[in-house]
Copies of this chain bind each other. A is one copy, B any other.
Amino acid sequence: MRKKVTLKDIAKEIGVDPSTVSKALRKSSDISVAMQDKIKRIADKMGYRPNLLAKSLISKRSNILGVIIPDLRISFFSEATRGIYEAATKHGFESILLVHDENPENERRKLEFLSDINVDGILLNAVNETTNLDLYKRLHGEGIKIVCWDRKIENSKFNSVTIDDKRAGFELTNKMIQAGRRKIMFIGPNRGIPVAKDRFDGYLMALEMNDIPIDEKLVLETRRTFESSHNVLYRALQNGADIDAVVCMGGLVAFGAGNAILESNYNIPGDIILGEFGDNHIISRLGIPFYSVNQNPYEMGEKAVNLLIDCLNEEKECTNSIHVEVEHEIIYRNVGVQRIKPDDRNLERKHKK
């Protein structure tokens, strides 16, 4: 059935030993140049490709990085992924992408899989910080390097690349206060997930610094899905919640929240303004302007790869509590003429060469 050309096939073809072929193809100095050339020529002609599996069975290195992300529909992740695979390529690594869908069991399966195929490292955007912590640690024990990005895992020493989420949460909330809003809601998960907790803390801090009393009714706990945030906010509004701004944990939450607001016949941004993290495309479907934290996803992905590959090449530990920070900025995303960044960047690169 499967019939890939192997070293043995080439050896038989030429009438030499497989090990000779092996050495020749890796330009080992103890094979004559003439023989090397000949073998290389024949190998090419036969369409030979080394079997990575067999190779990494011996070398214990696969040159593969695994990337697990929550949800592809969130443009923050697809942009970051772009940064990841471009940086990985630059370092000679192949990167493969998996999705966990905010589901711990899924995440577990994907992680086991990555371990099973012996990836060298994993770029992790964890579902939460507890459920699979044992597994992260086991994989680390097996020698797989793990770097967290976007979401760090607090009760561990895994290196990470994130923005300063607390500060971002503070600034985002502050923008709304500066826009004259005082009845500001926070919606999202706010515990068990470090990034969420940090953003929430930033929100609290902004209220405090502006002498706005914290109203617990304005803190809505949701999962990071469209439905969850939509339902919880819609219900709150039906029950007469009095708000003029909403800070959302992320793209899907903001999309659900925005829908709930519009469905409740409030105007955005007139009655209620919306803020979120990630500057995600999907929210634009609502046709409304919104505040957002641009997390520079492309750069975040790049830096995560660099951190990971650093550990790999230097044989360094990836549990030094190194937390790299990426710059962020608060933007006001309006509808209308837009440019798409990474594409520009690609174009530049192509022109340069």
**Could you tell me the distance in whole angstroms from the C-beta of A116 to the nearest C-beta in chain B?**
4
A51, A56, A60, A288: residue with the most chain B Cβ atoms closer than 10 Å? A51
| Neighbour of A72 across the interface among B72, B259, B335, CB < 8 A | B72
A57 within 8 A of B: yes
A238–B62 alpha-carbon span in the complex (Å): 52
A215 within 8 A of B: no
Set of chain B residues within 8 Å of A3, measured between Cβ atoms: 141-143
Q: Are A337 and B4 in contact (CB under 8 A)?
A: no
Q: Are A335 and B2 in contact (CB under 8 A)?
A: no
Set of chain B residues within 8 Å of A110, measured between Cβ atoms: 94
A16 within 8 A of B: no
A282 within 8 A of B: yes
Set of chain B residues within 8 Å of A130, measured between Cβ atoms: none
Q: Are B2 and A338 in contact (CB under 8 A)?
A: no
| Neighbour of A263 across the interface among B78, B315, B337, CB < 8 A | B337
A34 within 8 A of B: no
Integer count of this chain's copies in the complex = 2
**Could you tell me the distance in whole angstroms from the C-beta of A115 to the nearest C-beta in chain B?**
6
A9 within 8 A of B: no
Interface string of A338-350 (1 = CB under 8 A from B): 1110111011000
Interface string of A258-300 (1 = CB under 8 A from B): 0100110000000000000000011011111000000000000
> What is the interface size of chain A, counting residues whose CB is below 8 A from a CB of the partner?
69
A263 nearest in chain B by CB position? B337
Stretch of A79-87, A153-161, A200-208 with 4 or more beta carbons under 8 angstroms from chain B: A79-87
Stretch of A17-25, A95-103, A170-178 with 4 or more beta carbons under 8 angstroms from chain B: A95-103
A255 within 8 A of B: yes
Q: Are A287 and B96 in contact (CB under 8 A)?
A: no
Set of chain B residues within 8 Å of A73, measured between Cβ atoms: 75, 78-79, 82, 281, 340, 342
Could you list 23 A-B pairs, sorted by A, with CB under 8 Å?
A: A1-B143, A2-B143, A49-B116, A51-B57, A53-B117, A53-B118, A72-B72, A72-B78, A73-B281, A82-B99, A85-B98, A97-B97, A225-B347, A226-B343, A227-B343, A227-B344, A259-B339, A281-B281, A281-B285, A284-B284, A287-B334, A287-B336, A335-B335
Interface residues of A (CB under 8 A from B): 1-4, 47, 49-54, 56-57, 60, 64, 72-73, 75, 78-79, 81-82, 85, 94, 96-99, 101, 110, 112-113, 115-118, 138, 141-144, 225-227, 252, 255, 259, 262-263, 281-282, 284-288, 315, 334-340, 342-344, 346-347
Q: Which 4 A-B pairs have the closest CB atoms?
A: A287-B335, A72-B78, A284-B284, A97-B97
